[in-house]
Structure 1
Amino acid sequence: MIRFAIVGCGHIAKKHAEAIKNSEGAHFYAVCDTVEDKMKPYIEEYGVKGYNSLEDLLNDPEVDVVNICTPSGFHANIAVQAAEAKKHVVVEKPIALTLEDTDKIMDACKRNNVKLAVVHPNRFRPAFIKLKKWMEEGRFGKLSHANCTVRWNRNQAYYDQAPWRGTKSLDGGVLMNQAIHNLDLLIWLMGDVEEVYSMDATRLRNIEAEDVSAGVARFKSGALGVIEAAVTIYPKNFEESISIFGEKGTIKIGGQTANFIEHLVMEGLSEEEVEALKAEIKENPFGKPGHQCIIEDMVEAIKEDREPVVTGEDGKRALQLVVSLYESAESRKPVILG
Structure 2
Amino acid sequence: MIHFAIVGCGHIAQKHAESIQFIQDAHLHAVCDTNRITLDDFIVKTGAIGYTNYSEMLDDPKINVVNICTPSGLHERLAVQAANAGKHIIVEKPIALTLAAVDRIEEACLRNGVKCAVVHPNRFRPAIVELKKMIDQGRFGTISHVNATVRWNRNQAYYDQADWRGTKAMDGGVLMNQAIHNLDLLLWLMGPVKRVHAITSTRLRAIEAEDVAAAILEFENGAVGVIEAASTIYPKNYEESISIFGETGTAVIGGPTASWIKHWVFEHSLPSENEQLIQIIEADPYGIPGHQRIIRDMVRAIRDDREPLVTLRDGRNALKLVLDIYAAAERSAMEREEVSQ
TM over 0.5, shorter chain:
yes
Shift of the alpha carbon at 1:174?
0.2
Q: Report what 2:120 is aligned to.
A: 120
**1:314 alignment partner AA:** D
Task: Give the match for residue 99 of structure 1.
Answer: 99
Give % identity: 62
**Map of 1:185 onto structure 2:** 185
Structure 1 counterpart of 2:290, which letter? G
Distance 1:139 1:130 in 2: 11
Q: Aligned with 1:104: secondary structure?
A: helix
| Offset of residue 186 of structure 1 | 0.8
- Provide the rounded CA distance (Å) in 2 between the counterparts of 1:110 and 1:245: 39
CA distance in 1, matches of 2:280, 2:319: 33
Give the Cα–Cα distance (whole angstroms) in 2 for the partners of residues 25 and 190 of structure 1: 35
AA aligned opposite 2:19: A
What residue in structure 2 maps to residue 220 of structure 1? 220
Aligned twin of 1:248: 248
Partner residue in 2 for 1:20: 20
- Corresponding position of 2:194: 194
1:233 aligns with 2:233: yes
- How far apart in 1 are the matches of 2:46 and 2:35? 18
Letter in 2 for 1:167: T
The 3-state SS of whatever aligns with 1:327 is helix
Question: Normalising by the residue count of structure 1, what TM-score does the alignment of the two structures yield?
Answer: 0.98
Matches within 5 A, 1:314-329: 314-329=314-329
Residue aligning to 2:171: 171
Deviations 1:183-223, CA, capped at 9 Å, x for gaps? 10111111111110100100000000000000100001010
Cα distance in 2 for partners of 1:221, 1:172 equals 29
Deviations 1:149-184 (A, max 9, x none): 000000000000010000000000000000000110
Task: Letter of the 1:91 partner, please give it.
Answer: V
Q: TM-score, normalised by structure 2?
A: 0.97
Question: Is the contact between residue 120 and residue 184 of structure 1 (CA under 8 Å) also seen in structure 2?
Answer: yes
> SS in structure 2 opposite 1:117?
strand
What is the CA-CA distance between 1:39 and the residue it aligns to?
Answer: 1.2
Q: Within 2, Cα distance between the matches of 1:308 and 1:248?
A: 33
Shift of 1:43: 1.1
Deviations 1:98-119 (A, max 9, x none): 0000111111111100010000
Q: Is the 8 A contact 1:203 1:212 kept in 2?
A: yes
Alignment correspondent of 1:160: 160
RMSD: 1.0
Q: Please name the residue that 2:281 is paired with.
A: 281
1:70 has 2:67 as partner: no
Instruction: Note the alpha carbon deviations across 1:228-271, whole angstroms, 9 max, x for none.
Output: 00001111101000000011000000000100000011112111
> 1:260-308 deviations in whole A, cap 9, x for unaligned?
0000111121111111111100000000000000000000000000000
Which residue of the partner structure matches residue 2 of structure 1? 2
- Provide the rounded CA distance (Å) in 2 between the counterparts of 1:265 and 1:118: 32
Question: What is the letter of the counterpart of residue 202 of structure 1?
Answer: T
Distance 2:40 2:259 in 1: 34
Amino acid at match of 1:206: A
CA contact (8 A) 1:197 1:333 kept: no
Query: Which runs of 5 or more structure 2 residues have no equivalent in the other structure?
Result: 335-341
Match of 2:311 in 1: 311
Structure 1 residue ranges (4+ consecutive) displaced by more than 3 angstroms after TM superposition: none
Task: Tell me the equivalent position of 2:292.
Answer: 292
Aligned residue type for 1:31: V
In the alignment, structure 1 segments of 5+ residues that lack a partner are none
Aligned position for 1:151? 151
1:30 paired residue number = 30
Compute the displacement of 1:333 (Å): 7.9
Give the aligned residue type for 2:29.
Answer: Y
SS of the aligned residue for 1:332 comes to: helix
**Whole-Å separation in 1 of the counterparts to 2:99 and 2:135:** 28
